[in-house]
Amino acid sequence: MTLPSQLVGVVEEFTSVPAEMRVEVLLEYAGKVPPLPEGLADDGALERVEECQTPFFLAARLDEEGRVRLHFDCPAEAPTQRAFAGVLTEGLDGARPEEVLAVPSDLPSRLGLGEAISMLRLRGFQAILARLRRQVELASGGAGGAVGSR
């Protein structure tokens, strides 16, 4: 399965370091989550990922060119979940919908995180990815370019 080139770069970054350094690399991604656009938190576009213990919200929208634009809201006090958002932002923001939909659910394993973080966190990352793919599928199928509720 072919990953979007941006995501390939992220995977290569993780797999090029020893397993014991992957959590450190992951946490660096927490700082790569841009602030929410003005009004997004108020317009009902953010959807909570219930599987995450920390309040974690996301919105996937299609821009004028049909590219996926990702938005995440997660507290700074949850650096691991915020880092997941950073990984997805870095690897998938601006991708075509079909590229996002083709991302395999084993992405955390491809990043080499299976031995670096707990199973609970891995399931949270997989839930975030699943919710993101669902939103992209709905948005690209004519749901008005945005989905979600808060």
CB distance 67 to 95 below 8 Å: yes
When divided into structural domains, the chain yields a total of: 1
Residue 1 has what pLDDT? 57
CB distance 13 to 26 below 8 Å: no
* Catalytic residue check, 52: yes
Q: What does the DSSP assignment read for 33-61?
A: -PPPPTTGGGTT--EE-TTSSS--EEEEE
CB distance 117 to 26 below 8 Å: yes
CATH of the domain at 59: 3.90.1010.10
pLDDT tens track of the chain, all 150 residues? 578 999 999 999 999 999 999 999 999 999 999 999 988 877 788 999 999 989 999 999 999 999 999 999 999 999 999 999 999 999 999 999 999 999 999 999 999 998 889 899 999 999 999 999 999 999 998 444 444 433
For residue 96, the enclosing domain spans: 5-140
Residue 2 has what pLDDT? 79
Say if 25 falls within a structural domain.
Answer: yes
Say if 58 falls within a structural domain.
Answer: yes
Give the predicted TM-score (pTM) of the model: 0.90
Q: Based on the number of CB atoms within 10 Å of its own CB, is 49 exposed (0-12), middle (13-18) or buried (19 or more)?
A: buried
Amino acid letter at 80? T
Q: What share of the chain is helix, strand, coil (3-state, %, to 5)?
A: 50, 10, 40
- In angstroms, the CA 1 to CA 136 distance is 18
Among residues 46, 52, 87, 95, the one annotated as catalytic is: 52
Residue 145 has what pLDDT? 44
Residue 26 has what pLDDT? 96
Say if 146 falls within a structural domain.
Answer: no
Say if 60 falls within a structural domain.
Answer: yes
